[in-house]
Amino acid sequence: MKTIINLLLILSVLSSCNRATKETENVSLEDSISSTNEDVENVMPNVNNAEKRAKNFFREYVSNNADDPSSYEAVETKIIKVYKNGELKNIFLKSYLKEVDDAEARVADSTTTLNYKEYYQKEAERYSTFVNAAIAIPADSDKTYRVLLYHKYRIKNRFGALVLGETYAVVDENYSTGKLFDNERSAEFEIISSFRLLYLRLTYEDRTYTRKEEVN
């Protein structure tokens, strides 16, 4: 009889433990889901807010520049890329360091003639100044420099015909000012060029040169 009672007590304890374990698992799962939802809620407002500002930028541009703003209909708006200061700084720094390395390698090459050694030595020195300028760019790497947007829309032209158009825009971090472009490549070039001019004080012509071809 005692054996039976002991067995019943053991089974009762095991049953209680199983219930407690399941309750703990349920609580953990609920906490995990709740935590995940909170993370999503914390991220989504920023994304939605950026999309709203992008749409507002195009809407305001149309209202100020279109022949028939009332016919405007937004079809699609996308944030293609957010360009950070740190990313652009690294692009220039790596590019200029490579130019220095290439020029110095040509100087060290035993097959390079004396005249070309002098030429490549000057190139190495010139690009070294660009490297120093890139290093001196402010280190606020997480700060947004420009945002690249894409927009597709319908609107009536000056003849009253409804047309489907698309455009790209480069805007500031507040989506308050920007420029429109016909294609993505031109928009990206604007971002690179303006950053170079602002922080490196270099125009496109300043950093380009025609590399002479060696004649054997």
Domain segments of the chain as ranges: 1-216
**Residue 154: how many other CB atoms lie within 10 Å:** 13
Higher pLDDT, 138 or 87: 87
Residue 138: the pLDDT is 79
Residue 36: the pLDDT is 36
Write out pLDDT tens, residues 126-171: 999 999 989 888 777 789 999 999 999 999 998 999 999 999 999 9
Q: Tokens representing 37?
A: 């939802």
What's the predicted TM-score (pTM) here? 0.67
Write out pLDDT tens, residues 34-78: 333 444 334 444 557 999 999 999 999 999 999 899 999 999 999
